Each structure stands twice: as C-alpha cells, then as structure tokens.
C-alpha cells in the first residue's frame, strides 16, 4: 500500500472521529427547541450514540473481514454524510409529529424522555452507526500492510481520539455560537462527504457529487432555518438556544423549547397586567426606606427591573444591579426589550459567582434564574448559595425568589423552601394568581405583606391590585423541618425533582 494511502487512512480516522463527536454535541442543541436540554435529553443522546457506535463497530469489523476494500468504506462514509446532511431539514416535522402524538402530555417529563428518545433514534442512529464502522474497517486495512495489528489499532484509535477532541471544541466554541446548530450539522456532514470523495476522486461520478455539494452546500448553510413565522429572532449562545417571539403585540424571550417565558416586552406598555413579573416588580413597596439597592439575579430581558423602575420612579431612589450569565441575552435585551435603564448596572456573570465575591449589600435580592427553560440552576438552590445571599443582604432587607412549581406540596418546592428556612429565620410562600409561579420571600425579620396594599401607586396599576390581593390573602409562613431535605452543594437533584413534579402533575390530571 503506498505511503499516501497510509496518510489518507489516518486523515479519514481523524475526520470521522471529529465529526462523530461534533454531531453528538450538536444533536442535543437540535433537540432543544422541542424537548429542552435536560438531563433526560442528554442521557438519550449519549445512550443512542453509544448504542449506534457499538453496532457500527461490530458491523464494521465483520464487513472488513469479508471485503477490506477501502473504497467500500468511503461509500459508507458518503452515505453517512448524506443522512447527516438532511437532519436539519427534517428535524422540525419529525419532532412536531412526535409531540403531537403525545397530545395533552406535551408538558410532561415523560414526553421529554420518550419523545427525545424516539426523535434521536430516528435521526441520529443510522448515520452514527455507519460512522462507527469506520475504525474497525480502517484497522483491518492498515493491518494488511503492518505485521503488528495492535500497533495499527492503537494508531487508528489515537488519531480518531484526537479528532474527537477537536470535534468537542469546534462546535461549542466556534460553529454553534457563530452559525447555529443546524448549520453546524451541515458543515460537518459536508466534511464527511468531501473527505470520502477525495479518496474516490478517480471515479467521475464522485467528482460530480463533490461538485454538486460545492454548489448546494454553501446555499444550504446560508439559508434562514427559523422554526416559526412569529419568530423575530432565532440564535444560539454557548448556554442555550434563544428565540424572541412576537405574540399579539408582545415580545417574548424563550429558551430552548420554550416551556417557560423568560421575559416579555410590549412597546406600548410597561406592566404585563397579569404575569408574575408585575408582582415581583412591586417588591419595593414592602420597604419603608426611599433609598433602595436592588440585586436581580437572572436578569434575562429585564422585565422585572423595567417594571420596578416604572412603578417607583417618583417614589424611590433605586440603584439596580442585574446579573445575567449569557452575554448574548444581554445584547438581545437591549435591542428587543428596551433594556436601557439609567439606574441599572449589568454584570455578565454567573449569579453564584457574583454573590460569592460581592462586597456590596442590598435591600432587595431578586432571584429569578432559570436554565434550560423550566429548571432553576441547582447551584442557586443550595444552603451555601442562600448563605451568600444572607451575607450581602442589608439589615431590614429581603430575598424574593421565583419558583415555578405545580403546587406547594411538590417535592421541588418543599426542598427549596426548606433550604431557605434553614438559612433564614423568616420565610414566606406567596402564590401568584393563575400561574405555577410562587414568590418565596426570605428575611431576617417578619415581612408585613399588607404594605403592598398601602402603596397607592401599586394598587392603582391595572391588573396588579387583584394579583396583590390574591398574594396577600394566600401568603403563608414556612418553617424549617429537619426531617425534610436540605439542598447542598454536594446534593441538589433539582432536575429530577422538576421532571418528576411535572410527571406527577400530568398523571393526576389524566
């Protein structure tokens, strides 16, 4: 076998290893608009990829013993590239069909688990299986010219692993943030096709195939692959898939599959009139002081701080610090959600890191951080995190945390509030009317919720008075229970608690 073919064999091993890892990482991002990026989704993606590779290893080994012609393997790689190339164009109808079949259970974790399993299997099993055939096939081909089969195997696996390392960083750091997950899949599918065609260049039909994809490849990558007609913006960051939707004159900021709305904005009004953002914005009414310093962890589009500034612009002298981990969300908030508030300082940082090193003290700390749509970041639910909040809380101040829960009896709600009660002597649950949102207040002293009603500006705001009435009538004290779970940095199973909470809710509704 000529020396050139040895180099080409290693080149193929490198590129295929790179593409397998790139497709695996990008698969979860492609599923995010429909199923989110929870632990269930990642489990399915990893499991199916591993199963497909296992089957591919077995089939590749058997096939190489019968026919160790590398041209056959290159044709298989081309086929895998073609299958990968069509994934971005069919994932939407496939995923929506699966979601439609589940009907009323479309918000349950069972849909996330089984729906993502079906879609991942249908779209990714075959191309990954074919790519899994490559390594054993190349080892066989290489071993024909080397006496030491072990050395051949070690060389192929080493080069393939280096490719996998490159395929780990390129999508995450370069392609997904720059061009998005769909176009990332297209790029790596083209890599597979061109790598294989290069080895078959002596055959004209494959040269024509390469020429065809040289024409349609850039065209496909340049296309706008938005999901919905009402999508004003669709982009991706290192953290999540992001959309800005236009619904009935109101903009909505949603992450991943959009189960939860992160922020809203209407050009002709500041308050929403019915959402929990309004109640959270009314929090300064509980304080006597007119000079207030506010910390908002989980700024997103800034709905709460915009409404707060509007409500108290003539009554309170407020300084607001907003913390948002995703820099792309900050840019979107400024452009699409009018987040240009003079008294707002924005910090592009993780909320946990910010509070750990914060030296200033705050009168109000708003915690409204969510990752992967409906999941509170687990490291912002632990006793250690709440101790940091207590340290930077001004005397007489309070923490107000938004918890999305199906009921106060859910294990998720109980775990978070019990952990708060472990750290703060006064904890209150205040439900928001007609929603799954609960505002949980924590302080070093008692909180008089009747002060909401004593603020005329708050009670005159359309829609807000009714929400305040409901909140004050249903607010209750939460006491620490040593028999219940306390979330810690060592153990905080927030994703599991959230998934099983929604699963239980759906089952009870059936």
Higher pLDDT, 107 or 441: 441
Q: What's the pLDDT score for residue 481?
A: 95
> Residues for the chain: how many in total?
510
**Matching CATH topology for 3-222 and 270-509?**
no
Higher pLDDT, 146 or 81: 81
Q: CA-to-CA distance for 262 and 32, rounded, in angstroms? A: 16
Higher pLDDT, 510 or 271: 271
Q: Above 50 in pLDDT, residue 104?
A: no
Higher pLDDT, 141 or 204: 141
Digit-coded pLDDT (tens) for 359-381: 999 999 999 988 766 788 889 99
Grade residue 228 by pLDDT with cuts at 50, 70 and 90.
low
E strand or H helix at 496, and its extent? helix 494-509
Q: What's the pLDDT score for residue 188?
A: 93
Q: CA-to-CA distance for 345 and 343, rounded, in angstroms? A: 7
Beta bridge partners of residue 362, listed in sequence order: 393
| CA proximity to 76, closest of 59, 89, 51, 91 | 59
Q: What is the pTM of this model?
A: 0.74
Name the CA dihedral angle for 245, 247, 251, 256, rounded to a multiple of 10 degrees.
-30
Report residue 292: phi and psi, to 5°.
-130, 135
Q: What residue segments make up the domains of the chain, in order of their start? A: 3-222, 270-509
Alpha helices, DSSP H only, in 36-133? 39-66, 70-102, 109-132
Digit-coded pLDDT (tens) for 147-166: 677 777 888 899 999 999 99
Digit-coded pLDDT (tens) for 287-311: 988 899 999 999 999 999 999 998 9
Digit-coded pLDDT (tens) for 40-71: 788 889 999 999 999 999 999 999 888 878 88
Grade residue 4 by pLDDT with cuts at 50, 70 and 90.
very low
Average the pLDDT over 432-450 and give the result: 89
Query: Listing from the earlier edge strand, what are the strands of the sheet with 426-431?
Result: 344-347, 317-323, 291-297, 362-367, 393-404, 437-443, 426-431, 476-477
Average the pLDDT over 461-484 and give the result: 91
Beta bridge partners of residue 443, listed in sequence order: 398, 426
- Contact between residue 22 and residue 184 where contact means Cβ atoms under 8 Å apart: yes
Beta bridge partners of residue 415, listed in sequence order: none
Grade residue 208 by pLDDT with cuts at 50, 70 and 90.
low
Q: What's the pLDDT score for residue 437?
A: 85
Average the pLDDT over 411-423 and give the result: 95
Q: Above 60 in pLDDT, residue 85?
A: yes
Q: What's the pLDDT score for residue 163?
A: 94
Report the chain's mean pLDDT, rounded to a whole number. Answer: 85
Distance of CA 294 to the CA centre of its chain: 27
The topology under which CATH files domain 270-509 is Rossmann fold (3.40.50)
The CATH number given to 3-222 is 1.20.1250
Q: Above 50 in pLDDT, residue 209?
A: yes
Q: What's the pLDDT score for residue 1?
A: 39
Q: Above 60 in pLDDT, residue 215?
A: no
| DSSP output for 264-312 | EEBTTBSS-SSSHHHHHHTGGGG---SEEEEEEES-TT-HHHHHHHHHT
């Amino acid at each position: 076998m000529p020396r050139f073919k040895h180099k080409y064999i290693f080149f193929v091993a490198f590129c295929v290893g790179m593409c397998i890892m790139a497709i695996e990482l990008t698969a979860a991002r492609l599923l995010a608009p429909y199923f989110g990026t929870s632990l269930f989704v990642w489990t399915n993606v990893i499991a199916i990829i591993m199963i497909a590779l296992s089957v591919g290893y077995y089939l590749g080994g058997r096939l190489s013993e019968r026919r160790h012609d590398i041209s056959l393997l290159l044709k298989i790689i081309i086929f895998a590239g073609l299958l990968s190339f069509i994934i971005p164009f069919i994932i939407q109808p496939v995923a929506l069909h699966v979601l439609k079949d589940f009907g009323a259970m479309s918000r349950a974790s069972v849909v996330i688990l089984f729906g993502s399993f079906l879609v991942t299997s249908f779209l990714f099993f075959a191309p990954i299986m074919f790519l899994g055939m490559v390594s054993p096939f190349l080892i066989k081909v290489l071993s024909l010219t080397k006496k030491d089969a072990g050395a051949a195997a070690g060389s192929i696996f080493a080069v393939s692993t280096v490719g996998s390392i490159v395929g780990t960083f390129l999508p995450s750091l370069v392609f997904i943030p720059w061009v998005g997950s769909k176009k990332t899949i297209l790029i790596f599918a083209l890599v597979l096709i061109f790598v294989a065609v290069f080895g078959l260049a002596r055959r004209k039909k494959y040269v024509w195939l390469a020429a065809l994809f040289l024409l349609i490849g850039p065209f496909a990558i340049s296309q706008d692959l938005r999901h919905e007609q009402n999508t004003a913006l669709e982009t991706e960051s290192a953290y999540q898939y992001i959309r800005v939707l236009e619904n009935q004159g109101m903009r909505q900021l949603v992450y991943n599959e959009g189960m939860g709305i992160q922020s809203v904005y209407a050009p002709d009004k500041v308050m929403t009139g019915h959402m929990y953002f309004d109640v959270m914005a009314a929090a300064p009414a509980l304080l006597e002081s007119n000079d207030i310093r506010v910390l908002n962890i989980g700024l997103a589009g800034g709905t709460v701080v915009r409404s707060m500034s509007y409500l108290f612009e003539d009554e309170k002298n407020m300084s607001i610090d907003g913390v948002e981990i995703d820099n792309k969300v900050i840019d979107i908030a400024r452009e699409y959600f009018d987040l240009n508030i003079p008294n707002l300082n924005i910090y592009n940082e993780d909320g946990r890191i910010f509070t750990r090193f914060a030296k200033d003290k705050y009168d109000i700390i708003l915690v409204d951080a969510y990752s992967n749509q409906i999941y509170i970041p687990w490291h912002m639910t632990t006793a250690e995190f709440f101790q940091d909040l207590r340290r930077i809380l001004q005397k007489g101040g309070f923490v107000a945390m938004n918890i999305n829960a199906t009921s106060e009896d859910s294990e998720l709600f109980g775990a978070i509030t019990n952990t708060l009660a472990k750290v703060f002597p006064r904890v209150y649950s205040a439900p928001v009317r007609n929603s799954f949102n609960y505002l949980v207040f924590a302080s070093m002293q008692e909180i008089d919720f009747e002060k909401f009603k004593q603020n005329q500006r708050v009670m005159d705001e359309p829609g807000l008075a009714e929400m305040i009435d409901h909140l004050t009538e249903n607010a209750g004290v939460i006491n620490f229970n040593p028999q219940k779970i306390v979330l810690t940095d060592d153990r905080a199973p927030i994703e599991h608690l959230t998934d099983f909470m929604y699963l239980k809710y759906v089952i009870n509704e059936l």
